[in-house]
Amino acid sequence: MALFGTDGIRGVANRDLTAELALDVAVAAAHILVEGFADKSVRPRAIVGQDSRASGEFLEAAVVAGLTSAGVDVYRVGVLPTPAIAHLVASTGADLGVMISASHNAMPDNGIKLFQRGGGKLDDAIEAAIEARMGEPWERPTGRGVGRSIVDTDATEVYLKHLLSSLKHPLKGLKIVVDCANGAASYVSPEALRRAGADVVAIFNTPDGWNINDGCGSTYLDKLRAAVVAEKADFGIAHDGDADRCLAVDEKGSDIDGDVIMTILARAAKEAGKLKSDTIVGTVMSNLGFLQAMKSSGINVVTTAVGDRYVLEEMLKNDYSLGGEQSGHVIIREFANTGDGVLTALALAQEVARSGKSLSTLASAMQRFPQILINVKDVAKEKLESSHAISKAVKDAEQTLGDAGRVLLRASGTEPLVRVMVEASSDSLAKEVAEKLVKVVEQELR
């Protein structure tokens, strides 16, 4: 079984993801990512950050130990969003970056995300090379050859200044509720929006090590909906634990997912002449309504596998400027090379302020098709592609839906489950088709 999933390494902290494993990964990553380091008189450098999970404390210690023992100087930036690590790696010229986070997963989980020079996530070949090098014999540096561990007290301010540099229109007059998921954005997201001129009400912004994603954040929007309506706010923003996602709630309390956010940003960018090739990059999970909204706006859509690293690969390959996922990972390539939830929140708020329109009005440009997503847990997900019965069930479902719907089955890259997604012209039809597919998946893969 591969160590790396869709987005790094992830598992239950201290059971699947142990201190020993974290140390081994750090050593192997140091060997792979700093090999061929040109200037032997200067030690390679790494940026290491974490979200607010208590387990991040011992995992950070293990990662730092592994990197420094391999001769890498480590700059520890503390609790910051994942995209902050990507930005800091790129802006400082660091040789690698490590983010300790399990994103939207529950508190007992944790993970390790690695970034290469330039701040990009690792491709599959590099991840495989790191995994292959784990546990190998190696010549350990001694004396002045070992790395140092440095606390970087400027990193948060550097990241905030970067975020604010993306804005050309102030947010004065907007009232925004921000659900920080008791995670990595608990300080920087409200602070960035306040500095941009907005009146900010922050909720779930007091992390204690245990409460990250606990009934809050982008996975649980109920309390944000209630707060937006109660505060009579212009809209609300929700992040996940490591703040690489951004979802929203409009002034009426209606959900605004990543597809709708991308619709708003893509139309604004095209109007301003800043949408390169009049193209946006989405994924196979993009809603049919998003595809239709883009077509009616004269914008091409290129789709990739799920995962913002695959979106970025396509954007870099063809020099596209905007892309993302329904889940709220949005890449604005002028300012970031990964999904950045705080940057996305600022961009969305800027468009509301600039246009003078409500978020619900801007969101009406996309009519979302009813979508049912069911996670089938504890199944042999690796057998999904080889099951003839499942393939036949999918074809039958596609014939039932015709051109007014679609089906997608995919194995999760981070959890032991298969995702069954159905879009249709009505909720009832989507549910009916999805439930039939779930039964077949359960019969075939359990």
Amino acid 354 reads: R
Lowest mean pLDDT among 63-67, 127-131, 307-311, 396-400: 307-311
Burial of 66 from C-beta contacts in 10 A (0-12 / 13-18 / 19+): buried
Three-class SS of 252-278: CCCEECHHHHHHHHHHHHHHCCCCHHH
DSSP annotation of 403 reads G
Q: pLDDT by residue (tens digit) across 290-322?
A: 999 999 999 999 999 888 888 999 999 999 999
DSSP annotation of 414 reads S
* 445 pLDDT higher than 80: yes
Contact 202, 218 (CB under 8 A): no
Contact 391, 345 (CB under 8 A): no
Contact 360, 252 (CB under 8 A): yes
* 38 pLDDT higher than 60: no
Domains of the chain, start order: 9-153 (3.40.120.10), 159-363 (3.40.120.10), 371-445 (3.30.310.50)
What is the per-residue pLDDT for 108? 97
Amino acid 20 reads: E
* Gap between the Cα atoms of 207 and 229, Å rounded: 24
Residues of the chain with pLDDT > 70, as a percent, come to 98
Give Cα 80 distance to the centre of its chain: 14
Structure tokens at 148: 């140092």
Contact 431, 371 (CB under 8 A): no
* 1 pLDDT higher than 60: no
Rounded mean pLDDT of 100-108? 96
Is residue 425 part of the annotated active site? The answer reads no
Q: pLDDT by residue (tens digit) across 211-242?
A: 999 999 999 999 999 999 999 999 999 999 99
Q: pLDDT by residue (tens digit) across 256-274?
A: 999 999 999 999 999 999 9
Q: pLDDT by residue (tens digit) across 361-378?
A: 999 999 999 989 999 998
**For strand 9-12 and strand 73-79, is the pairing parallel, antiparallel, or unpaired?**
unpaired
- Using a cut of 0.85, tell me whether the model's pTM lies above it: yes
Sign of the C-alpha dihedral, residues 148, 153, 158, 164? Answer: positive
* Gap between the Cα atoms of 2 and 345, Å rounded: 34
**For strand 235-238 and strand 175-179, is the pairing parallel, antiparallel, or unpaired?**
parallel
Active-site residue (options: 52, 103, 186, 286): 103
